[in-house]
A and B are shown apart, each in its own frame.
Chain A
Amino acid sequence: MTFAFDARLAGRGFAVALSVAPGETVAVLGPNGAGKSTLLGLTAGLLRADQGRAVLDDTVLFDTDGGAFTPPHQRGVSLLAQEPLLFPHLTVEENVAFGPRSAGASRQSARSTARHWLAEVEALELADRRPAQLSGGQAQRIAVARALASDPRLLLLDEPMAALDVSVAPALRRMLRRVLVGRSVVIVTHDILDAFTLADRVVVLDAGRIVEQGPTREVLERPRNAFTAGLAALNLLVGVRSERGIRLADGSEIFGASTLQAGSPAAAAVRPSAVRVSPDEPVSGNRIRGEVLDLEPRGDLVRVRSALISADVAPALAADLDLVPGAAVWFGFDAAELAIYAA
C-alpha cells in the first residue's frame, strides 16, 4: 500500500510532503506543535488541507486541485489516538468487531475476526468486559486490536504509549513490533525508543516542516541538525572535514576518523556519556572549553550543558567539581568516540 502525501495548511504553518512504501513503518518525531497531529488529521480525513494532494494506492484521499475529498470512512485509514477512546456502551469484543461490522461483515464473521485480533494483542480474556473496567494499558491494547481488525490499508498511531505508565509501555511496544510486521504504518511519537523499536524510517518535523528524514539508525545516530540531535540526545558539532578530523566554525580542530573527503561539509556526533568534565585541560584526546549553562538530572547521571557540548557525569563528581552555572570547565572525549559524517 503506497502512500504519497503533499499538503499545506496555512493556519498552522504546515507544509509537508512524504511517502510511505508498502509494509514500511515511518516514525514522525517532533516537539509539541510541530504538526504531527495535523499530519495524521489530514491523512485520516478529519482535517481539510488548504492545498495539496494525497494518494493511497489507487485511491485519491484528497486533491484540492480537483476538489476531490474522500470522507474518512471510505479511506481505509485507521487512526489510533493517545486515548484509547473505546466505545463505552459496547463490550471489548463488540468494540473490536466494530470495524468489520461497519464494513458489512456478518455478526459471526465479525466476532471471529475480533477474537483473532484480541488473541494477537493477548487480551482475549477481556472480551466480555466493558471499557470502564479496563486499565490504561489494557484499553490501549484493545484499541490497537480494534484498529487492526478493520484491516486498514494504512495505520496511523498517535503517540500510543504517551498516556501509559512507564512500566506498561514496554509490553505494548513489544506487542506492536509483532503485529505491525508487513503493515504500512505512520507512528507519531516523542520517544526515540519507539522509533528504534518500530520504525524503518524516521521523519523529523519542526514548526510544520520536515527538517530531516531517513532510515532510523542513520538519522538518530548521525543527526545533521541540532534539533534532531537534541531528540536523539547526541552532541552535534558542525564544520568542515579536515585532515585529521573536523574543523569547527571557530577554527578549532576536533580529531576523529572518517571516510569523508577533506574539505567537504561535515557533521560530528558524540554521546554525552562519552564526554568527561574536568577543571583542568585534559592532556590527551579532544578537548573543548566551555561555560556551564545548566545541570540537568537524568536518572543516575547529571547532564552538564554548555553552548557547544554536553556531558553526562555522576552527581558525586558534579558536586566534587563544584559545578554551577557559569563555571568554566573543560569537556574532553576520545577521538574514537566521535563519528564524523557528511552534513
Chain B
Amino acid sequence: MSPATGYAGVPRWVAAIAVVGALFVLLPLAAMVMRVNWGGFVGLVTSESSVSALLLSLRTSLAATVLCIVLGVPMALVLARSTFRGQKVLRSLVLLPLVLPPVVGGIALLYTFGRRGLIGQSLDALGISIAFSTTAVILAQTFVALPFLVLSLEGALRTVGTRYEAVGATLGAGPTTVLRRITLPLVLPALVSGSVLSFARALGEFGATLTFAGSLQGTTRTLPLEIYLQRETSPDTAVALSLVLVVVAVVVVGIAHQAGSTKYLRGAL
C-alpha cells in the first residue's frame, strides 16, 4: 500500500475478510488440482469419450450463445427502452432461470417440449422429436444462459440513454438504421461480455441437460455429463476433465473482462 496510490479508505479488517472470501473460492480449486493424476492426464483427456464430450460442449454452447444473442438483444431493448403494463413482472420472470435450480428448468422444458408436452405434442404429430437430441441440449443451455445476456445488455442500454438515438433520428436515420449504426455499437462492450458470460454458463450447464436431453455420447453427453458419469468408474478421469472445464471457464471469463472495457466511451457518457 504505497502512499503514491492515494487514499483508498479500505479498513484492514475488510481486506482480511476479502482474503478469506477469495480463499474460500480458490482453495477447493487448488484441492482439485492437487488430485489430478498428471501422469495419465493427457491420455485421460484425449480419450474418445472425453474428446467427444468436449467438442459437443463447445458446439452446443456456441449455438446456445448465438440463440441467446438473437433472442436476448430484442428482449433487452424492449425492457430498457419501452414502457408497458406488467413490465416489472416480465423482467422478474425473464430472470427466473437465474434462480431456479437447473433441474427444475429441465423439468419445465420437458413438460413443454417433451413427447407429451405443451408444444411437444404438436411437434411429435409433425414428426419432430426434440427430447434426446442435440437440439434439446441447446435449448436447455439457452434457457439457463439467456438471463445473463439480457441483464448485462439492459443495464448498459439504460446507462447509455437515448440521446444519441434521438440525434440520429433527427439526422434522418430510421429506427432500424439507428439500431444498427448507433444503439448496438454503443453497447457493444456489454453485448460482448454478456455473450461470453452466457457462453460460460451454457458450457457448465448440467441439471437441465440431464433431465431434458438425456445422456448419449456424441449427441447429448456434454462435458459436465461426462464428468458425472466418469465419477462412477474413474475418479481420475473425472478430476482431469473437471480441470479442463475450469481452464476453459477461466479463459472465457478473462476474455469477458477484457471485452467489457469501455475505452472509447469515456468522455462521451
Task: Say yes or no for A3: interface residue by CB 8 A criterion.
Answer: no
Q: Which single residue of chain B is at the shortest CB-CB distance from A156?
A: B170
Q: Are A132 and B267 in contact (CB under 8 A)?
A: yes
Q: Are A89 and B186 in contact (CB under 8 A)?
A: yes
Among B175, B266, B268, the one with the most A-chain Cβ atoms within 10 Å of its Cβ is B268
Write the nearest CB–CB distance from A323 to chain B, whole angstroms.
47
Task: Say yes or no for A150: interface residue by CB 8 A criterion.
Answer: yes
Q: Are B169 and A146 in contact (CB under 8 A)?
A: no
Among B163, B166, B186, the one with the most A-chain Cβ atoms within 10 Å of its Cβ is B166
Q: Which residues of A contact B264 (CB under 8 A)?
A: 88-89, 130, 132
Q: Are B171 and A81 in contact (CB under 8 A)?
A: no
Per-residue B-contact encoding for A163-179, CB less than 8 Å = 1, 0 else:
00000000000000000
For chain B, residues 131 to 186, give those with C-beta under 8 angstroms from any C-beta of chain A: 163-164, 166-175, 177-178, 181-182, 185-186
Task: Say yes or no for B104: interface residue by CB 8 A criterion.
Answer: no
Task: Say yes or no for A129: interface residue by CB 8 A criterion.
Answer: no
Per-residue B-contact encoding for A88-106, CB less than 8 Å = 1, 0 else:
1100000000110011000
Q: Which residues of B contact A81 (CB under 8 A)?
A: 163, 167
Q: Are B170 and A44 in contact (CB under 8 A)?
A: yes
Q: Are A88 and B268 in contact (CB under 8 A)?
A: yes
Per-residue B-contact encoding for A294-308, CB less than 8 Å = 1, 0 else:
000000000000000
Q: Which residues of A contact B186 (CB under 8 A)?
A: 88-89
Task: Say yes or no for B78: interface residue by CB 8 A criterion.
Answer: no
Task: Say yes or no for A77: interface residue by CB 8 A criterion.
Answer: yes
Per-residue A-contact encoding for B5-17, CB less than 8 Å = 1, 0 else:
0000000000000
Write the nearest CB–CB distance from B249 to chain A, whole angstroms.
30
Q: Are B166 and A72 in contact (CB under 8 A)?
A: yes
Q: Are A85 and B185 in contact (CB under 8 A)?
A: no
Q: Which residues of B contact A130 (CB under 8 A)?
A: 264
* Residue in contact with B181 in the complex, picked from A46, A76, A98, CB distance below 8 Å: A98
Q: Are A132 and B171 in contact (CB under 8 A)?
A: no
Complex Cα–Cα for A78 and B172 (A): 8
Task: Say yes or no for B20: interface residue by CB 8 A criterion.
Answer: no
Q: Are B267 and A79 in contact (CB under 8 A)?
A: no
Q: Which residues of B contact A160 (CB under 8 A)?
A: none
Q: Are A73 and B265 in contact (CB under 8 A)?
A: no
Task: Say yes or no for A147: interface residue by CB 8 A criterion.
Answer: yes
Complex Cα–Cα for A99 and B171 (A): 5
Q: Are B267 and A98 in contact (CB under 8 A)?
A: no
Complex Cα–Cα for A150 and B167 (A): 12
Q: Are B181 and A45 in contact (CB under 8 A)?
A: no
Known: A102-B174, A102-B177. A88 touches B169 (CB 8 A): no
Q: Which residues of B contact A227 (CB under 8 A)?
A: none
Q: Which residues of A contact B185 (CB under 8 A)?
A: 89
Write the nearest CB–CB distance from B105 to chain A, whole angstroms.
37
* Residue in contact with B169 in the complex, picked from A71, A83, A89, CB distance below 8 Å: A71
Task: Say yes or no for A131: interface residue by CB 8 A criterion.
Answer: yes
Q: Which residues of B contact A330 (CB under 8 A)?
A: none
Q: Are A102 and B268 in contact (CB under 8 A)?
A: no
Interface size class of A (residues with CB under 8 A): 20 to 34
Complex Cα–Cα for A88 and B266 (A): 9
Q: Are B168 and A98 in contact (CB under 8 A)?
A: yes
Write the nearest CB–CB distance from A121 to chain B, whole angstroms.
16
For chain B, residues 219 to 269, give those with C-beta under 8 angstroms from any C-beta of chain A: 264-268
Q: Are A85 and B164 in contact (CB under 8 A)?
A: yes
Q: Are B268 and A150 in contact (CB under 8 A)?
A: no
Complex Cα–Cα for A81 and B168 (A): 12
Complex Cα–Cα for A75 and B167 (A): 13
Task: Say yes or no for A5: interface residue by CB 8 A criterion.
Answer: no
Q: Are B267 and A88 in contact (CB under 8 A)?
A: yes
Per-residue B-contact encoding for A42-75, CB less than 8 Å = 1, 0 else:
0011100000000000000000000000011111
* Residue in contact with A77 in the complex, picked from B163, B170, B174, CB distance below 8 Å: B170
Q: Are A131 and B268 in contact (CB under 8 A)?
A: yes
Among A83, A99, A146, the one with the most B-chain Cβ atoms within 10 Å of its Cβ is A99
Q: Which single residue of chain A is at the shortest CB-CB distance from B177?
A: A102
Write the nearest CB–CB distance from A95 to chain B, whole angstroms.
9
Write the nearest CB–CB distance from A75 to chain B, whole angstroms.
8
Q: Are B267 and A146 in contact (CB under 8 A)?
A: no
Complex Cα–Cα for A103 and B136 (A): 44
Q: Are A73 and B164 in contact (CB under 8 A)?
A: no
Complex Cα–Cα for A147 and B175 (A): 18
Q: Are B169 and A72 in contact (CB under 8 A)?
A: yes
For chain A, residues 198 to 223, give those with C-beta under 8 angstroms from any C-beta of chain B: none
Complex Cα–Cα for A85 and B185 (A): 15
Q: Which single residue of chain A is at the shortest CB-CB distance from B160?
A: A88
Complex Cα–Cα for A98 and B178 (A): 10
Q: Are A102 and B171 in contact (CB under 8 A)?
A: yes
Q: Are A150 and B164 in contact (CB under 8 A)?
A: no
* Residue in contact with A88 in the complex, picked from B166, B178, B265, CB distance below 8 Å: B265
* Residue in contact with A78 in the complex, picked from B171, B181, B188, CB distance below 8 Å: B171
Q: Which residues of A contact B182 (CB under 8 A)?
A: 87
Q: Can you give 23 contacting A-B residue pairs, CB < 8 Å?
A: A71-B174, A72-B169, A73-B169, A73-B177, A73-B178, A76-B172, A78-B171, A81-B163, A85-B163, A86-B268, A87-B168, A87-B182, A88-B186, A88-B268, A98-B168, A99-B171, A102-B171, A102-B181, A131-B268, A132-B264, A132-B267, A146-B171, A150-B172
Among all A-B residue pairs, the 5 with the closest Cβ atoms: A88-B268, A72-B169, A102-B173, A132-B267, A99-B171
